[in-house]
A and B are shown apart, each in its own frame.
Chain A
Amino acid sequence: MSAPVSVSLLVNGEPIDAVVLPRLNLADFIREHLKLTGTHVGCEHGVCGACTVRVDGEIVRSCLMLTVQAQGASVETIEGLSDSGEIADLQAAFRERNALQCGYCTPGMLMTAQDLLKHVSMPDRPAIREHLSGNYCRCTGYQAIVDAVEATARTRAERRA
């Protein structure tokens, strides 16, 4: 029982083969096995959003997904989004507006905000709040985070025009 299972997946474009216990969730696999510690673990039951990653292009809670469920999937972490430059402008906006203090929620916030900006070109503030509603921040009071996402949406829209 509970024998290790082999799993093959892509993480930030890199093929990974591993043998893991079924109970190992994707967040712990990313952090402990791959040493990609940008993905944070907060509540471990899907409430806080700190562990948000992308699986096959969609955001998910990596604490609520088993590593073995990622068989054949393409996983992207905050390191992938950061290194590729995909969210460089969003990160800059977070810095400029003090949209982070302790930084614990920030990787999940960036993941979720980028997901919104990919789907909706010019979200209004209620839409930003709604999309980020599953991500807890205990420092900022959210106002600055909403500011940063709104500002990024605006500059991206101007760039497209």
Chain B
Amino acid sequence: MKAAAFAYARATSVVNALELLAAHGDKAKVLSGGQSLMPAMNLRLLSPDILVDIGGLAELRGIAVRGDVLVVGALTRHVDLLGSPEIALHAPLLRDAVAHVAHPAIRNRGTIGGSLAHADPASELPACVLALDATIVVRGPAGERRIAATEFFKGIYETALSPDELLVAVEVPVAGQGVAFFFQEYARRHGDYAIVGLAACAVVAAGSFSDLRLGFFAVGDRPVLAAAAGKLINASVTPALLAEATAALADELDPQEDQQATAAMRRHLAAVLLRRCAAALLARPELEKGATR
């Protein structure tokens, strides 16, 4: 189908974009790369009165290291994340995740800011920013505010952004000593929406986790930072302990049932991913099999 009629404004600056958003409130939608917004509009799931196109704002582009923080501009495209030496060095989780986001032609236009603001519970980048303990930088009429990624996602397509605010950047802590990452997802075909996925960030020292952040996606109405990770931190990870953690994970998750999978199947796959993640990050392949029953 075709999108319903709407008005179009090409923002000339962030300030101008904020003026436009203030004037139109929730009747406006921000257009970044458009790779989620345009399908939703073509399917008539969304029909905003006006699109505010921020695509030309150079001030929202680019990746920079400031001290121990990696600042990723909202308009940074998926293809930019894939090719960036800074991302490869300081936050390779984002690169690994983006390789699973759709297909080359989509990755050439889709942006990190757009993906986070859209907040599809099955998409990869929201779970990554949870795992990375990133901060979402937002600008509004009252100035700038910083929102912890853990506070940002509120539900299906819902975030802490208000209609007069613009997501301008993501701040990611630079990966320090001993930090390791894991990314895997189940999808029917590579590039499809995940059935279940896991983006994880860990600190591994002397064969155990001194920190572990598990960002699961496609398991509920928003990405989930699993509390079950706590069972594996500062502990000797045995198959029995891992079985305890996967049981806690299954209790904690409240996955939806849809055409792709039942809730039980999603719980099962999440447990498989957790075992694989522990096995990979601790370099102990035997953990993947789980406890013998």
Interface residue ranges, A against B (CB under 8 Å): 1-3, 5, 21-23, 25, 28, 44-46, 49, 52, 58-61, 63-66, 68-69, 71, 112, 115, 130-131, 133-135
Bound Cα distance from A52 to B102, whole angstroms: 14
Interface size class of B (residues with CB under 8 A): 20 to 34
Report, nearest first, the 6 A-B pairs whose CB atoms are least far apart.
A134-B103, A22-B8, A45-B39, A2-B5, A64-B38, A58-B108
- A-side contacts of B55, CB under 8 Å: 69
Given contacts A46-B38, A64-B38, contact A28 B104 (CB under 8 A): no
Q: Are B191 and A25 in contact (CB under 8 A)?
A: no
CB distance from B2 to the nearest CB of A (A): 7
Bound Cα distance from A157 to B35, whole angstroms: 34
Bound Cα distance from A60 to B108, whole angstroms: 7
Q: Are A1 and B43 in contact (CB under 8 A)?
A: no
Interface of B is mostly: loop
- A-side contacts of B53, CB under 8 Å: 68-69
Bound Cα distance from A135 to B106, whole angstroms: 11
- A-side contacts of B191, CB under 8 Å: 133-134
Bound Cα distance from A39 to B288, whole angstroms: 47
Q: Which residue of B lies closest to A130 (CB)?
A: B190
Q: Which residue of B lies closest to A3 (CB)?
A: B7
B189 interface hit (Cβ, 8 Å):
yes
Bound Cα distance from A23 to B51, whole angstroms: 10
Scoring B residues 88 to 107 as 1 if CB is less than 8 Å from chain A, else 0, what string do you get?
A: 00000000000000111110
Q: Which residue of A lies closest to B191 (CB)?
A: A133
Among candidates B6, B39, B79, residue contacting A22 with C-beta atoms closer than 8 Å = B6
Sample of 10 A–B contacts (CB below 8 Å): A1-B5, A5-B8, A25-B42, A49-B105, A64-B34, A64-B39, A64-B42, A131-B104, A134-B102, A134-B103
Bound Cα distance from A135 to B2, whole angstroms: 20
Bound Cα distance from A134 to B38, whole angstroms: 17
Bound Cα distance from A160 to B79, whole angstroms: 28
In the complex, besides A45-B38, A68-B8, 7 extra interface pairs with C-beta distance below 8 angstroms are A21-B5, A22-B51, A44-B2, A58-B108, A59-B105, A64-B39, A69-B55
Given contacts A23-B3, A23-B4, A64-B38, contact A45 B43 (CB under 8 A): yes
- A-side contacts of B7, CB under 8 Å: 1-3, 22
CB distance from B3 to the nearest CB of A (A): 5
Bound Cα distance from A85 to B39, whole angstroms: 33
